Amino acid sequence: MIKGFSKLTKEEKRQWICQQYLSDPSQAEVFTSYDLRDENLQKLHDDFIENTIGNYILPFAVAPNFLIDGHYYTVPMVLEESSVVAAVSKAAKFWSEQGGFLCQVRSMEKVGHIHLFFEGDKHELFQFFSTIEPLLYEQTQGITENMRKRGGGISSIILKDMTDSLEHYYQVFVTFLTGDAMGANFINSCLEKMSQTIEQEAITHLSHGALEVLMSILSNYTPQCLVRAEVSAPVSRMSFNDIEGKVFATDFTRAIAVANADVYRAVTHNKGVMNGIDAVVIATGNDFRAVEAAVHAYAAKEGRYKSLTQAYIKEDIFHFSIEIPLAIGTVGGLTKLHPMVKTALQILENPSAETLMKVIACVGLAQNFAAVSSLVTYGIQKGHMKMHLANILNQLGATPAQKQEIIAYFKDKTVSHSEVVQAFNKVAGVVPHE
């Protein structure tokens, strides 16, 4: 137990961590080795969160050749897993040669709730709500003014009777349009202001103590903020990984059917979709936890967890699509603050939130196409192991010449950690270190 940790300087925090947890004090260098030279930039990163003791660096990559609604995009991706960027880039190129991705944003509505409990006559509550509803709009005008200028704001406020699910439970269900912003702060500020109004008005309109506002918060489930992306091509052109088009397309649709039939497979299948989605969401400074939560809830919207992507063959045309909720933003939050996020958005040509939703959905679809294509043909280990081999060789400190020789050796062999070490030891014996 340590008291006042948050009050220590960064250096003192590091020292405490070293003393407590790192056996070798020289390990403290791991923190300094990742410190930024530019002090202002370092301070900016330090201040994003609390108790910062260092930087944690992930690779920033790009996947080019995404042809989306007739426009080519180069997509920034931040993640640690090897093969993901290579695989999605290959899929993007393949689909750009078939006419590219087509997208549609169904709507961009976000929701928030005031969760309240009322122990009294339902009709009295509904009467009270219709009396104060105009006040809820009126008293939030100061907060919504800027958003309204940008075409957003509060779209509707509804009182819902939830007492079938939970005794005395009602919900003020509020829908919002937040333009290019993710809008979490805006939504929560509106909700908290509305809660105050409800509580104040209840004093004069309802019996004492009958109504209790429990909490007010946006919902990360955003099925009204929905994007769809699709690709299609004649089955004859679906030859992939040296497999004939019809066989490949049939096996591919079967793999999607399996993910719809079995939750074990569905989770892994959707994890592959999220490999791509999360990487773009992180690169563009969006909240990947919120996106993950919404997407997985949506995958279970029919009462059973299913595939996020669908595929079928009709009249010799292969169709493949994804539909997902994506509450993301391209203004506010980290977008101007984090230099890499700003750069990611510039690479995407400073998209609107609607365009970014489309790009992210296409990346998810392409990522899933890449994974399932490998799975139903030569398996995923071939691609993974190539990167794995490179990582092991880096860990072993292999020289460029040693790497070249060992990579050539494993060209037609299965990669395992111990065999790479063996090969390295052998090669290191004959090729001297530089």
Point out the residues that are catalytic: 81, 271, 287, 384
Question: How does 110-128 read in b/e, with b if 16+ C-beta sit within 10 Å?
Answer: bbbbbbbbbeeeeeebeeb
Nearer to ligand MEV (CB atom), residue 27 or residue 268? 268
CA distance linking residue 244 with residue 235, whole number of Å: 9
Nearer to ligand MEV (CB atom), residue 17 or residue 375? 375
Q: Can residue 340 be called a binding residue for ligand MEV (CB under 6 A)?
A: no
Give the strand pairing for 169-177 and 60-68: unpaired
Whole-number minimum distance, CB 237 to ligand MEV, in Å?
A: 23
CA distance linking residue 372 with residue 272, whole number of Å: 9
Whole-number minimum distance, CB 72 to ligand MEV, in Å?
A: 26
380-399: contacts with ligand MEV (CB under 6 A) = 380
CA distance linking residue 320 with residue 313, whole number of Å: 9
Q: Can residue 279 be called a binding residue for ligand MEV (CB under 6 A)?
A: no
Question: Under a CB-based contact definition with an 8 Å cutoff, are residues 328 and 281 in contact?
Answer: yes
Q: Can residue 216 be called a binding residue for ligand MEV (CB under 6 A)?
A: no
Whole-number minimum distance, CB 374 to ligand MEV, in Å?
A: 7
Q: Can residue 426 be called a binding residue for ligand MEV (CB under 6 A)?
A: no
Nearer to ligand MEV (CB atom), residue 90 or residue 269? 269
Bridge partners of residue 156, in order along the sequence? 175
Write the binding mask 50 to 89 for ligand MEV: x where contact by CB under 6 A, - elsewhere. -------------------------------x--------
Q: Which of 272, 329, 333, 364 binds ligand MEV (CB under 6 A)?
A: 272
Question: Under a CB-based contact definition with an 8 Å cutoff, are residues 191 and 217 in contact?
Answer: yes
Other beta carbons less than 10 A from residue 314's beta carbon: 9
Q: Can residue 325 be called a binding residue for ligand MEV (CB under 6 A)?
A: no
Bridge partners of residue 324, in order along the sequence? 227
Query: Which tokens in the block code for residue 119?
Result: 């122990």
Nearer to ligand MEV (CB atom), residue 327 or residue 376? 376
Backbone dihedral region of 249: left (phi > 0), alpha (psi from -120 to 50 degrees) or beta? alpha
Whole-number minimum distance, CB 273 to ligand MEV, in Å?
A: 8
Q: Can residue 14 be called a binding residue for ligand MEV (CB under 6 A)?
A: no
CA distance linking residue 96 with residue 248, whole number of Å: 19
Q: Can residue 269 be called a binding residue for ligand MEV (CB under 6 A)?
A: yes
Whole-number minimum distance, CB 367 to ligand MEV, in Å?
A: 8
**DSSP-assigned states of every residue in 55-123:** -----EEEEEEEEETTEEEEEEEE---TTHHHHHHHHHHHHHTTT-BEEEEEEE-EEEEEEEEE-S-HH
Whole-number minimum distance, CB 112 to ligand MEV, in Å?
A: 33
Q: Can residue 372 be called a binding residue for ligand MEV (CB under 6 A)?
A: yes
Q: Which of 122, 271, 289, 336 binds ligand MEV (CB under 6 A)?
A: 271
- Give the interface size with ligand MEV as a residue count (CB under 6 A): 10
Whole-number minimum distance, CB 22 to ligand MEV, in Å?
A: 31
CA distance linking residue 397 with residue 388, whole number of Å: 14
Stretch that binds ligand MEV, among 31-39, 160-168, 210-218, 264-272 (CB under 6 A): 264-272
Nearest to 281 by CA among 32, 78, 66: 78
Residues within the interface to ligand MEV (CB under 6 A): 81, 268-269, 271-272, 275, 371-372, 375, 380
